[in-house]
Structure 1
């Protein structure tokens, strides 16, 4: 529950601290005194949109803090713990707004995004404004109110999860289908190119080897001629071949080795050279024997080399890069094939996801139908108490998966009402006058608030358009809510204020040309005077005082 609200430099508020108690608290005051200012400030602590105009004239910034007791709110404690925020029995929300319009938010002293104020606030306070009946005219809001009354958030959450899964799969399917259409021509081209490269089957290093082989085959005749010349010059020639000349040189020098020993190393080298020539001749004969002319092999190498060059020009790369390109194209084709397989798989997954969504939505629909019957009966009873004795209220639920499927289920909810006996119920916005709509809205807000499960309920002049005996009924309804929840209501009706457990008076004063707003919790005697003022205006008489005392006693 809300324990304390502190407001600094906000609108016409200079410095204000208000303590709140359990039960029902009524906030009253003269018209224009600023009865709703405290609730506007509280809204900012709950994540409402801020404006620079909220800052009091002449001040640098406005500051609002709201303290809540969360001892009996484990869901809030868990929320705080999950975000590593202090999770003791008290939760402090704070908001600052500079004169330039910049806003900062804090939870238990830690700076946080404003969105987190709204998120935690949804577990702490339920705000009901005097213009909520305008929202009531919208069918989507009627659905929200029915769900609020039904208290089946777990069913709504389940439907939402299945909806998201189904929609994500549909989104993936649309993306793949669109990509498949765009990539069809690309896939056909790649399939042709891969088949072409598969057939050519050029491996890494093959092109370099092919160039070498082609060059050898193309020069076989010259290699044969020069090999024969080399053999003849080294060994086979009848006159002056290198081997014979070397042997002659060795023979002549060897004859002098005994005369001069310095010739011995030279002779050793010449002997080695003679051996090397013999070895070279043997290798050269072997090489020459393998130099058979092969026109067919040359033609094949020539054709393969030409094909490699043609493919390289086609893909605008060097011939040596063809194997790498081949691998890349195969990988891309595999990826495109995987997308096609995923598309086929998605059909099955989408069917399962839709069936899960449909089943969850049908459970939610059944819960709404059950809750609607209970809500209708209670609203009819409350309408009678609110001076509409012949009133009839029907929650029409149209279930149609084809037309109404959404994250909120497969239902359209329409509130129908008849305010006079014998009148056929019609859509709420068609038949209710302003005063009737306010009373019906009030009945719905009170009944749904009872099911909210939130500790603090705030009503900001929701009793506008209500008077007389009906006002007394509104007071009793608020009092009933206050027995199980903390209820804070801004009201101008003495019948409502008299039913409160506590009453807070808002006053506006002018000092040195500046306007100040103050709030004071009234004693029983002060309450009598304030109720008398509400009853009789500025002139308080013995009769109004007696009426005020009677209201409090009742």
Structure 2
């Protein structure tokens, strides 16, 4: 339920903080005092459409904040979990700023959200009904969901089964239809995949091959340079005509050995020269081996370059390196096998599709029959409520029309709309079009009374839904609103004293002039204040002793009956 509401710079409201309680709360006051503005603020917190026109003149932004208790509402909790919004605390704080630039900043428990998410979560917390704002009850496309909610224990498991079968059927049908409608493209795709798979397979690529080829290419391109360098080094190390580096180093080594025992410093020098001598010998042997193994193959470089060019062309088509090309080959192979299997399995696919369709049809018909049975009970329940609202001649029906040729939809095969006949002899027609203003209020309350238990919305707001009624009908409406308040918190704007008297709490909304500006003021009325306000509502501008006595009687009657 809505526990607290904070409004800043919104329309004619500069600053307003309101604490709400459970049960039934009414807002009363003169027309234009700002009652509906407060409801508009709540509506915007629930994700309603915002506008810069709501910002108070002279302010840069309007700021709204509401604190709600979630009451373990499963729909609210599911959405909070879906969007990763913290709800460790049992309260939920909704915030919305409307800036002059038109930008909306919305937060739920401190987490930034867009208006779509705010609306989704807000709709699980608040249900606003106005005289001309029919919302779910007056929207035919919502009626099926409301019927399902009315009979949720019977419908929910069937609907879940149907939707699971529907998803499997749609997935297979989509695959089958795509293949049948695009057989030419299908065949072309198979041919292309086969070509790609063969091209990569024929290349016989190996991971690391490209690096090896590039090394070979570099060696072959530098063959002459390497050969010349090795020969020059070999000649310098062991020259047959003159002493080479090895011979001269050997002479130095022998000379130093004669003195290495005299002092450690000579021994160190001798060891260094000896090491150099043997390393030079090893280098000479390695150079000799390299020279013996070097053989110029004029066609080898061409082969390496051609192989590298082949790999380059494959890289342009299938990946940045051999590893990616091979991964693409695996993907092509998997798709090709799937398509080939599908070709050979077309008959089986069609047979499986027919079986799924038959099973789906049976479940859909069972679901439809369950709904029609529930509709009978709903009809009886609505009639009982309408009788109590002095519409005993009215007839309510749940009108079913199935889709053509049992065309399956995510919700089944039924189109559902509530129908109404208000008086004998009149035509039964869609509820959204048939009722007058006063009748509409009563029908809406009848349905709302029935659905209040199951819908789970924690706060229901009625914005002058009692317009156009009076007398005993007004009293009946008041009692219905009070009954709904037993299941959900109810906030109600009313001009009817009968409705106001039934409330658990009453706020008086008025306009005051402060510093040349109009502001909305809110007073939480005590018993005496309520008597005075009810008397005003009964008598108008002049409150009389009789109207005060009548107001006291209204409050006493409401207290006695509740």
TM-score by length of 2: 0.68
Aligned to 1:59: 59
Deviations 1:492-543 (A, max 9, x none): 2111111111112222222223221122221111111111122222221112
Aligned to 2:248: none
Q: Does 1:411 align with 2:414?
A: yes
Q: 1:123 and 1:410, CA in 2 relative to 1: closer, same or farther beyond 3 A? A: same
Secondary structure of residue in 2 paired with 1:47: coil
Q: Which has the larger radius of gyration?
A: 1
How far off its partner does 1:15 sit?
A: 0.9
Aligned to 2:538: 535
Q: 1:343 and 1:549, CA in 2 relative to 1: closer, same or farther beyond 3 A? A: farther
How far off its partner does 1:473 sit?
A: 0.2
Q: Does 1:11 align with 2:14?
A: no
User: Residues of 2 paired with 1:202 and 1:488: CA distance?
Assistant: 77
User: Residues of 2 paired with 1:517 and 1:410: CA distance?
Assistant: 51
Aligned to 1:389: 392
Deviations 1:197-226 (A, max 9, x none): 99xx99979xxxxxxxxxxxxxxxxxxxxx
How far off its partner does 1:37 sit?
A: 1.6
Kept in 2: contact 1:442–1:463 (CA 8 A): no
User: Residues of 1 paired with 2:204 and 2:151: CA distance?
Assistant: 71
How far off its partner does 1:420 sit?
A: 2.5
Secondary structure of residue in 2 paired with 1:519: strand
Q: Does 1:118 align with 2:119?
A: yes
Q: 1:147 and 1:36, CA in 2 relative to 1: closer, same or farther beyond 3 A? A: farther
User: Residues of 1 paired with 2:172 and 2:348: CA distance?
Assistant: 11
Kept in 2: contact 1:7–1:64 (CA 8 A): yes
How far off its partner does 1:453 sit?
A: 2.4
Secondary structure of residue in 2 paired with 1:122: helix
Kept in 2: contact 1:404–1:410 (CA 8 A): yes
User: Residues of 1 paired with 2:376 and 2:391: CA distance?
Assistant: 19
TM-score by length of 1: 0.69
Q: Does 1:141 align with 2:149?
A: no
User: Residues of 1 paired with 2:202 and 2:452: CA distance?
Assistant: 77
Aligned to 1:235: none
Kept in 1: contact 2:65–2:95 (CA 8 A): yes
Kept in 2: contact 1:457–1:485 (CA 8 A): yes
From 542, 556, 560, the counterpart of 1:553: 556
Aligned to 2:86: 85
How far off its partner does 1:67 sit?
A: 0.7
Q: Which moved more, 1:162-171 or 1:520-529?
A: 162-171
User: Residues of 2 paired with 1:44 and 1:161: CA distance?
Assistant: 36
Aligned to 2:25: 25
The unaligned stretches of length 5 or more in structure 2 are 206-312, 315-324, 558-562
Kept in 2: contact 1:81–1:87 (CA 8 A): no
User: Residues of 2 paired with 1:165 and 1:44: CA distance?
Assistant: 39
Aligned to 1:109: 110
Secondary structure of residue in 1 paired with 2:35: coil
Aligned length: 433
Deviations 1:153-178 (A, max 9, x none): 83555544544443343333333334
Aligned to 1:292: none
Aligned to 1:154: 156
